[in-house]
Structure 1
Amino acid sequence: MNVQPRQKPEPIYAHPNLYQVVNVQNSLRLQRIETSLRNEFAAGGAGELSPIDVWPQLWLVNEWDRDAAQRLIQEATATDVEEWFCGACGEQNGGAFELCWSCRHERSAP
């Protein structure tokens, strides 16, 4: 009988911004992948602890969801697009915006 050694559980996702972690958690929840949020209020420990140790973390409830969760997280976090300048008013906009925040002109194709 060939038994695989158990791997130490680790968080599926961590980020310094709680809102980013909750956004990923919501994306996973929509796909029926259950997670638990840890370190939600741990930021006050920074200084005594390493900053990365107090980042909010997502942990899988069911480890068998790991592969699907990793694919979804990669898709959800891969939307970081470079900033762009509006062709109508010249305003700089974040990559996530499809309309100019200033004049509401639609983003033109690169």
Structure 2
Amino acid sequence: MKLVFTHPHHFAVANVRNQLAQRGIACELRNEFAAGALGELAPIDVWPELWVLDDRDYDIAQRWIEADQTQANGRDWYCGQCGELNAASFDHCWACQRERRLD
């Protein structure tokens, strides 16, 4: 097992876990409930961690995470069907479920 991602917010780590699982990469979430030890341990030591179960998946997982983070830092977009504003990281409109078009 190798540590592939860590972040101070549990939601961010769980989101990456879900994205990797959709791509067939098995992961384990650790330190999920370690925040209770904050004060006894350094803050970074209680951050949730995501570990790939198969070391051979590590490099591809890193590439997917980097690509997803780059996309998430992009520009928000408006749906061509309903006009709703969506976050850059969304592939589908949250309101009408139309797939994002990059034209």
Both proteins in one fold, TM over 0.5: yes
Within a 5 Å distance, the mapping from 1:40-59 to structure 2 comes to 40-59=32-51
Q: 1:12 aligns to what SS in structure 2? A: strand
Gaps of at least 5 residues in structure 1 are: 1-8, 84-92, 99-110
TM-score by length of 1: 0.65
Give, in whole Å, the separation in 1 of the partners of 2:15 and 2:57: 18
Q: CA RMSD in A?
A: 2.5
1:32 CA displacement:
0.3
The residue type paired with residue 43 of structure 1 is A
Within a 5 Å distance, the mapping from 1:40-79 to structure 2 comes to 40-78=32-70, 79=72
What is the aligned counterpart of 1:29 among 18, 21, 25?
21
Counterpart position of 2:31:
39
Alpha-carbon contact 2:74-2:89 (below 8 Å) kept: no
Give, in whole Å, the separation in 2 of the partners of 1:10 and 1:48: 25
Q: 1:47 aligns to what SS in structure 2? A: coil
Gaps of at least 5 residues in structure 2 are: 77-84, 91-103
1:77 CA displacement:
1.5
1:95 CA displacement:
5.9
Alignment coverage as a number of residue pairs = 83
Q: Which has the larger radius of gyration?
A: 1
* Deviation beyond 2 Å, 4+ runs, structure 1: 93-98
- Greater share of residues in helix: 2
